[in-house]
Amino acid sequence: MYIFPAIDIIGGKVVRLSKGDYSTAKTYDVTAENAARSFFAQGATHIHAVDLDGAKLGNAVNADVVRRIIATSGAFVEIGGGIRTESQIQSYLAAGAGRVILGTVAVRDFGFTVDAVEKYGEKIAVGVDAADGKVAVSGWREITETDSVEFCERLAAAGVKNIIYTDIACDGALGGANLEIYERLVRIDGANITASGGICSLAEIVALKKLGVHAAILGKALYEHKLDLRAAVELGESE
């Protein structure tokens, strides 16, 4: 199971939110590039970056910061937030991103997402952010009527291999992940499930790995020194 430390960006700065609420943003005294270098130095070979301004506004607001992360980290970088056009997909891939994450556009223009997957294959992931089992879009501010698990099944059936599922109620709360939802999601044929939201212990890393989760994203638990990244990587990625 791959371990992805997260770098969330607002106004060019590294932040963490609580339960997807932008008003709770806590800014950390580290640049995005230095955070990425630090994670790499601690053994992380994969990084999850999100342009939170982009997610809310619908365009790649912090693209320059993301490019610096890609250029300096030494890691495989997946990037999400505000990616809603093919030109932005191409721009990030040309900059060296290992994978581009589609979110809002996957809900609002499913055909675009299917076309992107057909063209770019596993360089495309879809982020499914869920609030009470419904898919949230536009930086988590709008809750749709789309059932989150059914949407994941639809994505997998359409050829989307990499699905990043975030339970918003857990995200940034340091209260643990929703293991039950991942136990359901790993049963979806053809999908690599990434768990995101609330992971704060090595025991959860072990539990998610046993479930067959493909990857896990670690956020606030790292920034608040509740979880040791090197130990998490060793546990998650060992045979």
Residue numbers annotated as active site? 8, 129
Q: Which two tokens stand for residue 24?
A: 């709770």
CA 182, chain centre distance (Å): 15
Q: What is the DSSP letter of 134?
A: E
Lookup result for tokens 């060019």: 12
Lookup result for tokens 């890691």: 75
Q: At what angle do helices 202-211 and 229-237 cross, to 10 degrees?
A: 20
Residue-wise burial string across 191-206, b where 16 or more C-beta atoms lie within 10 A, e elsewhere: bbbbbbbbbbbeebbe
